[in-house]
């Protein structure tokens, strides 16, 4: 591409997409297994290789953009792409924890979760029908969920019919389904994702605008972390 003076505007998009489709360190049980995989792969997408590529783009931006209508502007754009690769691709490829979150999100994604959403939203969530005044556990609730080590933004869409509640939720790194039974201001629920299932308890404010509670794994309703939410307007 440098020899023929062609732009590489699609390169960042390619690596952002490709990072989801190749094996990473987090997919292997040990460093030895990962190194064995790298030794046989002809095009391993590793942080070192991609960082070297970004540096190459930065050094040769003038050559890559020389045939564009505005070579100087093209060179600036190419250096910006190199910076974005360093900032948005390399850290993911170098961090097994981010790789695990990326894999978790991929395995737990639903068709509903792929719907268009506004910037900053974890999940598209058209509000359910307006609740009856004073109705609890019905609507879109934005808040957070934690597991004792990290806190993630959460959105839940809850539908209530009688004393039963169903819905879906997103916690930033994946999506799940929820179903439960209301008793007064308390919702006892079951949650399910592609990775597991468990139980939990949410308590509502009297006006239904806020929920707060705990979740657990298996038959436990606590021990996994806390969950809070405020009904979206």
**Among the three residues 83, 107, 131, which one is the final residue of a domain in this structure?**
107
* Average confidence (pLDDT) over 120-142: 73
**Among the three residues 91, 107, 123, which one is the final residue of a domain in this structure?**
107
200/202 Cα distance (integer angstroms): 7
Helix (H, G, I), strand (E, B) or coil at 4: coil
* Average confidence (pLDDT) over 3-32: 85
Q: Is residue 133's pLDDT more than 70?
A: no
DSSP 156-216: EEEEEETTEEEEEEE-SS-EEEEEEEEETTEEEEEEEETTEEEEEEEEE-TTSSEEEEEEE
The average confidence (pLDDT) of the chain is 86
* Average confidence (pLDDT) over 155-167: 92
User: What pLDDT does 216 receive?
Assistant: 93
Can you give the residue range of the structural domain that contains 100?
11-107
Alpha helix (H) residue ranges in the chain: 11-18, 31-40, 47-59, 61-64, 71-84, 90-94, 96-108
User: What pLDDT does 96 receive?
Assistant: 84
59-69 per-position pLDDT tens digit: 999 999 999 99
Q: Which helix (H) or strand (E) holds 131?
A: none
Do 124 and 103 lie in a common domain?
A: no
Q: Is residue 228's pLDDT more than 90?
A: yes
Q: Is residue 75's pLDDT more than 90?
A: yes
Do 16 and 73 lie in a common domain?
A: yes
Burial of 187 (0-12, 13-18, 19+ CB in 10 A): buried
Question: Residues 75-80: contacts with CB within 8 Å, 24+ apart?
Answer: 77/7, 77/9, 78/7, 78/8
Indicate the pTM of the whole model: 0.60
**Among the three residues 72, 107, 142, which one is the final residue of a domain in this structure?**
107
Do 210 and 225 lie in a common domain?
A: yes
189/182 Cα distance (integer angstroms): 9
User: What pLDDT does 89 receive?
Assistant: 87
Do 119 and 95 lie in a common domain?
A: no
Q: Is residue 105's pLDDT more than 90?
A: no
Q: Is residue 36's pLDDT more than 90?
A: yes
Q: Is residue 13's pLDDT more than 70?
A: yes
């Amino acid at each position: 591409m440098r020899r023929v003076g062609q732009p590489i505007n699609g390169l960042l998009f390619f690596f952002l997409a490709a990072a989801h489709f190749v094996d990473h360190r987090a997919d292997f049980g040990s460093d030895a297994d990962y190194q064995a995989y790298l030794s046989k792969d002809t095009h391993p997408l590793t942080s070192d290789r991609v960082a070297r590529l970004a540096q190459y783009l930065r050094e040769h931006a003038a050559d890559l953009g020389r045939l564009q209508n505005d070579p100087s502007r093209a060179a600036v754009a190419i250096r910006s792409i190199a910076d974005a690769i360093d900032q948005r691709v390399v850290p993911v490829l170098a961090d097994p924890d981010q790789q695990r979150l990326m894999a978790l999100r991929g395995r737990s994604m639903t068709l509903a979760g792929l719907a268009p959403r506004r910037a900053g939203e974890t999940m598209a969530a058209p509000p359910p029908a307006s609740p009856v005044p004073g109705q609890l556990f019905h609507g879109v609730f934005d808040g957070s969920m934690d597991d004792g080590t990290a806190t993630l933004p959460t959105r839940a869409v809850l539908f209530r019919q009688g004393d039963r509640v169903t819905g879906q939720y997103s916690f930033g790194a994946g999506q799940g389904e929820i179903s439960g039974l209301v008793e007064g201001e308390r919702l006892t629920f079951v949650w399910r994702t592609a990775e597991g299932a468990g139980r939990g308890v949410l308590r509502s404010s009297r006006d239904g605008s806020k929920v707060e509670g705990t979740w657990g794994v298996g038959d436990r309703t606590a021990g996994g972390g806390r969950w809070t939410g405020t009904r979206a307007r």
